[in-house]
């Protein structure tokens, strides 16, 4: 490999490499900013009917206004990923059985449970405060419809009276339909939220800077 002897050529090569590095860094910063600032939309739709013991559900995550879409089906245990309308991944997930090694590890965890439980109990106030921050940042919306009935119609009527007496049909995201024909349970609904990674990252960094947050992490890790 020959080294250019002309200083102008060397300077030109160095400038080219510098500009290329700046372009790559700028693109990387833009990509990270897009990931952090554009929210992910998460939607869960599900239903359960006790009569047929049937559970159905679908978890969908979309990003960049639907350009990237991931869906997971509970009843079929399938996972699909779509990119700009093209099906990139469509596979059936297999369930794995526990091995003897996993059973032994679980037994060891149970032996250490009392020590970790004391640490977790001491961190409950901080954990609740942190969960409240995450919940407010997600700003979730949900709707749930329940059909409930007991063998005794009196119990069904009592439940319906209690529900409507608090104005549940107007104020709560849960609607109730009493079934006086017998024992019945049917639930269907949806849950939607937006996940802002930048906000989540800000909450985590804030907690790491607080002494109480660092102590909570130590307690959860059993230190």
At 26, is the pLDDT very low, low, confident or very high (cuts 50, 70, 90)? very high
pTM as predicted? 0.65
Q: What confidence score (pLDDT) does residue 28 get?
A: 96
Domain-by-domain residue ranges, the chain? 1-37, 40-95, 100-223
Nearest to 90 by CA among 102, 76, 100, 104: 76
Q: Which residue has the higher pLDDT, 41 or 103?
A: 41
Task: Express each pLDDT in 137-195 by its tens digit.
Answer: 888 888 999 999 999 999 999 998 888 887 655 667 888 899 999 899 999 999 999 99
Q: What confidence score (pLDDT) does residue 101 get?
A: 47
At 99, is the pLDDT very low, low, confident or very high (cuts 50, 70, 90)? very low
Strand 174-178's sheet: what is its strand order? 86-92, 78-83, 68-73, 54-63, 40-49, 184-195, 141-149, 174-178
């Amino acid at each position: 490999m020959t080294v250019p002897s002309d200083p102008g050529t060397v300077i030109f090569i160095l400038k080219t490499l510098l500009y290329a590095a700046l372009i790559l860094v700028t693109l990387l910063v833009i990509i990270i900013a897009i990931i952090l600032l554009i929210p992910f939309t998460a939607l869960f739709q599900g239903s359960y009917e006790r009569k047929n013991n049937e559970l159905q559900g679908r978890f969908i995550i979309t990003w960049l206004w639907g350009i990237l879409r991931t869906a997971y089906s509970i009843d079929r245990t399938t996972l699909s990923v779509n990119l700009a309308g093209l099906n990139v991944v469509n596979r059936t997930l297999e369930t794995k059985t526990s091995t003897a090694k996993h059973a032994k590890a679980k037994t060891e965890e149970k032996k250490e449970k009392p020590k970790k439980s004391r640490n977790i109990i001491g961190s409950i106030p901080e954990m609740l405060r942190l969960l409240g921050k995450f919940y407010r940042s997600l700003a979730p919306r949900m709707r749930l419809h329940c059909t409930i009935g007991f063998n005794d119609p009196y119990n069904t009527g009592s439940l319906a009276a209690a529900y409507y007496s608090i104005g549940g049909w107007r104020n709560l995201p849960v609607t109730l339909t009493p079934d006086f024909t017998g024992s019945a349970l049917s639930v269907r609904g949806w849950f939607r939220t937006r996940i802002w990674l930048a906000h989540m990252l800000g909450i985590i960094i804030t907690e790491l800077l607080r002494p109480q947050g660092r102590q909570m992490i130590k307690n959860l890790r059993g230190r």
